[in-house]
Amino acid sequence: MELLLNQGEWRMRILVVDDELSVREFFEILLKKEGYDVVLAKDGRDALQYLKNEEFDLVITDLNMKDIDGMKLLKDTKLLQSSVPFIMVTAFATTDSAVEAMKEGAFDYVSKPFKIDEIKLTIKKALDTKKLASENKILKSELQNKYNFSNLLGESPAMQRIYDLIRKTSATRTNVLISGESGTGKELVARAIHFNSSRKDRHFVTVNCGAIPENLIESELFGHVKGSFTGAVASKQGLFEVAHRGTIFLDEIGELPLQMQVKLLRVIQERSFLRIGSTDTIDVDVRIIAATNKDLAEEVRNKNFREDLFYRLNVIQVKLPPLRHRKEDIPLLSEHFLRKYATETGKNVRNISLKAMERLIAYDYYGNVRELENIIERSVALEAGQEIQPESLPGNVLHPKSQREEFSVQEARTQLEVGNVALDRLMDAFEKDLLLKALDKTRGSRTKAAKLLGISCRSIRYRLKKHKIGEIDEMREAGLESLDEHTEQSGSVVADALDFMRRSS
């Protein structure tokens, strides 16, 4: 629905079609006085040209016109803008033409001469109907995702803190910055905030700042007027206008070019902007939720992101923990995705075996919940029985040794920030990583590896046994069944997750 702003108020757009100048002028005066935006067309052909390039909330048309009459215009318009209501006006009213018009989808049929109060009431009813239909369409589309927060499923302490922060944040109008690795569910958090706020009945507009070409992003965000640049064949509404009184979600905000950062800062400060090529200020009431997988503070220090914009966006920060830091949520998420893809594929896969779940919990998901979902989708597709077995899981899940095991100081700090540090697990990961690298460098010589690490041969034997490094080749030769018998889960996080799964079944 094309909407224009005038001093902060929305104006409905009406197309008036009549081959008599006096009639067009009459409607122009009447409708503008009522606060509507009016476009005039001298005939059906002229009207169709407008309808091809612009959207309208109502069409008022004469029935009898040359070439393309009102009835033909009605039929053709339904192919272009199916939801726009039509009011048919004629001085030669007949029962047959009225019936035909209503069958073709006209909102009403008005005979000349008409009373001004009556035509005003008819116009208001038509616009109210259009507005209600548009809002219902928007809500129906968006409410389909309202409770689809699968990435936010979880009973871990880390997720409970996120839920609490969402509830508190939703009650405010403050800008929010959501940070977290790819696949942690940043957009779903943004939707949760929006749909639990006072703006829930308004638009939730998503913008991927990294996916829009730099030369088009200003037009996408703020719109443009016809003829403002090559290719601007019609005026276009910007996404900030669409989000008026609602929420705009600026995903991958760290990818926004510096020039656009300046303009975004002005919108936040002034709550207004200009379309490209226009001198008319458009006022907007928009809540901004931004998201990034980058360290924006570091980007500020590197002069890649404006400090003043960072502080404007980072009023409330929501940091999403990676899935590997809340492993106790893996059984719940896995079962959710199992039900989802079993239903979608029509397969009778009902459960995940204990051994398969052990593998899933032991695995570190650097693609986060999105990676887990892909693994379960694949497993459902490959599984021949009613229960997912380890054989249906990808090789990197079955053999975690091939998975990335690089734990840095920054990684430890990240865990500390989300309040979910597993120090023993981190130290074990460092130790195992160094042992493997030392053995690789010494071509498997334990004596040389011990010397390289500055420890005794007895110590390295103990450490290799603790991490089951010496058993890997033997277990591979024995096959998957033997691997199951040898594998023992270590670390309190994995043990807690398995215990949670057993208690829940």
Considering only 189-203, 244-258, 310-324, 417-431, which range has the smallest mean pLDDT?
417-431
Average pLDDT over residues 123-146: 68
Residue 38 pLDDT greater than 80, yes or no:
yes
Residue 10 pLDDT greater than 60, yes or no:
no
Count CB-CB contacts under 10 A for residue 230: 6
- The predicted pLDDT at position 347 comes to 92
- The predicted pLDDT at position 474 comes to 35
Give the confidence band of 136 by pLDDT, cuts at 50, 70, 90. low
- Distance in angstroms between the alpha carbons of the first and the last residue of the chain: 49
Average pLDDT over residues 478-497: 39
The percentage of the chain sitting over the pLDDT mark of 90, rounded to a whole number, equals: 39
Q: Which amino acid is at 72?
A: K
The percentage of the chain sitting over the pLDDT mark of 70, rounded to a whole number, equals: 81
Average pLDDT over residues 482-486: 33
Residues 6 or more apart in contact with residue 160 via CB below 8 angstroms: none
Q: Is the dihedral of CA 381, 385, 387, 389 positive or negative?
A: negative
Q: How far apart are CA 504 and CA 482, in angstroms?
A: 28
Cβ–Cβ under 8 Å, residues 272 and 158: no
Give the confidence band of 409 by pLDDT, cuts at 50, 70, 90. low
Of residues 157 and 250, more confidently modeled = 250
Characterize the bridge pairing of strands 13-17 and 37-41. Answer: parallel
113 preceded by a cis bond (ω within 30 of 0): yes
Q: Determine whether 440 is exposed, middle or buried from the number of CB atoms within 10 Å of its CB (0-12, 13-18, 19+).
A: exposed
Cβ–Cβ under 8 Å, residues 84 and 62: no
Domain ranges for the chain, please list them: 4-142, 158-319, 323-402, 409-504
Q: Tokens at residue 65, please?
A: 């016109």
Element (H, E) at 274: strand 272-274
- The predicted pLDDT at position 6 comes to 35
Fold for domain 323-402? Answer: Helicase, Ruva Protein; domain 3 (1.10.8)
Cβ–Cβ under 8 Å, residues 261 and 149: no
Q: Tokens at residue 296, please?
A: 């924006």
Q: Which amino acid is at 362?
A: A
Interval 156-175: pLDDT, tens: 888 888 888 988 898 888 99
The pTM score is 0.55
Of residues 365 and 143, more confidently modeled = 365
Secondary structure letter of residue 243 according to DSSP: T
Average pLDDT over residues 14-29: 91
Q: How far is CA 41 from the centre of its chain?
A: 39
Give the confidence band of 480 by pLDDT, cuts at 50, 70, 90. very low
Distances in whole angstroms, Cα of residue 92 to Cα of each of 59, 63, 75: 19, 9, 20
Q: How far apart are CA 487 and CA 494, in angstroms?
A: 13
Residue 287 pLDDT greater than 90, yes or no:
yes
Characterize the bridge pairing of strands 316-319 and 351-352. Answer: unpaired
- The predicted pLDDT at position 503 comes to 53
Residue 423 pLDDT greater than 60, yes or no:
yes
Distances in whole angstroms, Cα of residue 229 to Cα of each of 50, 55, 232, 264: 19, 20, 6, 21
Distances in whole angstroms, Cα of residue 141 to Cα of each of 82, 130, 200, 203, 297: 17, 17, 13, 10, 36
Q: How far apart are CA 147 and CA 82, in angstroms?
A: 30
Q: How far apart are CA 96 and CA 113, in angstroms?
A: 19
Q: Tokens at residue 134, please?
A: 């548009």
Give the confidence band of 351 by pLDDT, cuts at 50, 70, 90. very high
- The predicted pLDDT at position 475 comes to 34
Q: Is CATH 3.40.50.2300 the classification given to domain 4-142?
A: yes
Average pLDDT over residues 448-473: 79
Instruction: List the CATH code of the domain at 158-319.
Output: 3.40.50.300
- The predicted pLDDT at position 405 comes to 46
Residue 406 pLDDT greater than 50, yes or no:
no
| Lookup result for tokens 């002069």 | 303
Interval 59-85: pLDDT, tens: 999 888 888 888 888 888 888 887 889
Average pLDDT over residues 384-390: 93
- The predicted pLDDT at position 178 comes to 96
Average pLDDT over residues 39-55: 88
Which three-class secondary structure state does DSSP give residue 476?
A: helix
Which three-class secondary structure state does DSSP give residue 393?
A: coil
- The predicted pLDDT at position 478 comes to 34
Element (H, E) at 170: helix 157-170
Task: Look at phi and psi of residue 406 and say left if phi exceeds 0, alpha if psi is from -120 to 50, else beta.
Answer: beta
CA-wise closest residue to 83 among 16, 145, 2, 139? 2
Cβ–Cβ under 8 Å, residues 269 and 306: no
CA-wise closest residue to 228 among 220, 239, 217, 219? 219
Characterize the bridge pairing of strands 272-274 and 281-283. Answer: antiparallel
Cβ–Cβ under 8 Å, residues 307 and 300: yes
Identical fold, 4-142 and 158-319: yes
Residue 297 pLDDT greater than 80, yes or no:
yes
Instruction: List the CATH code of the domain at 409-504.
Output: 1.10.10.60
Q: Looking only at Cα atoms, what is the longest distance across the chain?
A: 106
Q: Where are the alpha helices (DSSP H) in 346-367?
A: 354-362
Secondary structure letter of residue 215 according to DSSP: T
Considering only 95-109, 305-319, 418-432, which range has the smallest mean pLDDT?
418-432
